[in-house]
């Protein structure tokens, strides 16, 4: 099967390539290959590639920048999705799209089900929700949150860098969710494809954390692996203490039970996957 992966150089794009099953004939593209804001260019590239399946791991993810650059975010998160779906509609191909917890408003008190009402509170969230609406009934939508991977640009690696530089740092403690190892997310996506699933699915690692909790765990695990010489003081902050242009969901836990049932999988706690990621990070030097 000819599989086209967009966002090849991103965390998930890389993980999808590394975990690809033997049956997948992979071609992965990124910004140097095609400009997703140019629908004509994208359409022409899709004609050349003629994929049987597209996994769209590309997105405009600069959450704060999107507040002042919503047009570009919409071109990538909405218009490019519509172009890819139209291409698959014309050829009979399949489409997998990755979305985000930011489509929810963060006011829930229990994990968001796949069919929960959406109410995005940021430009990024709005464009991702609009992109979801371009999908067909036969497509796969996978929402996720707090993604990280060894070697990527993410919270884990940022924290390790700051912890090496500072004796003390503050991290927001009133935003609640669950971290997601990109390798595990990629495996879930391939599993859903293999089972010919359709519809909306949620994937994040098991457990609950605030960004503060996550940072404390990063410090402890990184120190135990020799990535940190010492553990700095980590202070809990409120969202009000750390204002950002885009509003973040205060609560963004995703209910992943239906996904686990579909794949007959036992959920893995986020700290277990964090430890695996940091072991990979240590090998990278």
- The catalytic site residues sit at 124
Rounded distance between C-alpha atoms, residue 108 and residue 214, angstroms: 21
Mapped onto helix, strand or coil, the DSSP state of residue 132 is helix
Q: Are 16 and 9 in contact (CB under 8 A)?
A: no
Are the beta carbons of 38 and 207 closer than 8 angstroms? no
CB 278 within 8 A of CB 221: yes
CB of 188 within 8 A of CB of 240? no
DSSP 250: S
Residue in this structure with the two tokens 């964090």, named with its chain if needed: 274
Q: What is the DSSP string of 149-187?
A: -TTSSSHHHHHHHHHHH-SEEEEE-S-EE--EEHHHHHH
Burial class of 226 by CB neighbour count within 10 A (0 to 12, 13 to 18, 19+): exposed
DSSP labels for 34-57? --TT-HHHHHHHHHHH--SEEEE-
Neighbours of 25 (CB within 10 A): 13
């Amino acid at each position: 099967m000819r599989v086209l992966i967009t966002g090849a150089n991103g965390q998930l794009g890389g993980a999808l390539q590394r975990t690809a099953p033997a049956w997948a004939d992979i071609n992965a593209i990124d910004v140097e290959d095609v400009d997703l804001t140019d629908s004509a260019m994208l359409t022409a590239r899709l004609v050349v590639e003629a994929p049987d399946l597209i996994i769209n791991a590309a997105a405009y993810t600069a959450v704060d920048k999107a507040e002042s650059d919503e047009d570009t975010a919409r071109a990538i998160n909405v218009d490019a999705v519509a172009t890819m779906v139209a291409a698959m509609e014309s050829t009979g191909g399949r489409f997998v799209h990755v979305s985000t917890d930011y489509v929810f408003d963060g006011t829930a008190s229990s994990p968001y089900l796949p069919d929960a009402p959406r109410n995005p509170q940021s430009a990024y969230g709005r464009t991702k929700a609009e992109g979801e609406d371009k999908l067909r009934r036969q497509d796969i939508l996978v929402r996720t949150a707090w993604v990280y991977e060894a070697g990527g640009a993410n919270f884990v690696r940022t924290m390790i860098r700051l912890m090496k530089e500072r004796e003390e740092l503050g991290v927001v403690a009133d935003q609640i969710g669950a971290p997601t190892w990109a390798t595990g997310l990629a495996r879930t996506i391939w599993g859903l494809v293999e089972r010919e699933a359709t519809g909306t699915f949620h994937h994040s690692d098991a457990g609950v954390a605030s960004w503060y909790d996550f940072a404390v765990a990063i410090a402890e695990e990184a120190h135990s692996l020799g990535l940190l010489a010492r553990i700095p003081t980590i202070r809990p902050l409120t969202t009000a203490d750390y204002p950002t242009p885009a509003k973040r969901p205060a609560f963004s836990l995703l209910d992943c039970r239906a996904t686990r049932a579909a794949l007959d999988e036992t959920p893995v706690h986020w700290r277990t996957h964090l430890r695996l990621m940091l072991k990979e990070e240590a090998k990278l030097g």
